[in-house]
Amino acid sequence: MRQQDEGDLGATSTAALASVRKRGQVTLGELASLEQVAPPTMTKVVEKLEARNFVTRRVDPDDRRVARVSITAAGTRYLDRSRARRTAWLAARLAELHPDQVAQLAGTIDLLEAIIGEPECRAEAGGRRER
């Protein structure tokens, strides 16, 4: 599915951009923590996103040592196009499957979600994801 992404943004930058979109305005430190990378790495990622006009970085008015990152309209459009391409690619692949395979896949999704679900979901559900 990564092949469906446009350009050379890369998985780390795309994930960081998606986190900014999901969380709203975040600090570089928060973003580095969310993406589990070192702060200097996240600084480089944000610089790359800024160069593409996908995010803006502003100094926090209350603490000038802190920079806050926000997604731009161009960043939102990039993520929307990227998701649409990946969704179309996946839908085409699923359409090629036999109905029994689709049913088997649907049963597997719950198991995969339990394994890779967000940690807070696992903790709340005692290791099982609740719906």
Domains, the chain, ordered by start = 2-96 (1.10.10.10), 97-131 (no CATH)
Q: Tell me, what DSSP letter sits at residue 59? A: E
| pLDDT over 60 at 7, yes or no | no
Comparing 6 with 91, the larger pLDDT belongs to 91
Which residues are registered as beta bridge partners of 58?
A: 68
Closest by CA position to 17, among listed 69, 67, 58, 66: 69
Span 57-82, average pLDDT: 92
Q: Which residue has the higher pLDDT, 68 or 1?
A: 68
Q: How far is CA 35 from CA 59, 62, 109, 110, in A?
A: 21, 25, 24, 24
Q: What is the pLDDT of residues 9-62, one digit of tens each?
A: 888 999 999 999 999 999 999 999 999 999 999 999 999 999 999 999 999 888
At 93-110, the pLDDT tens digits run 999 999 899 888 888 888
7, 86, 91 from 104: Cα distances, Å: 34, 21, 16
pTM reported for the whole predicted model: 0.71
Residues 87 and 80 sit within 8 Å (Cβ to Cβ): no
Which pair of structure tokens corresponds to residue 36? 């589990």
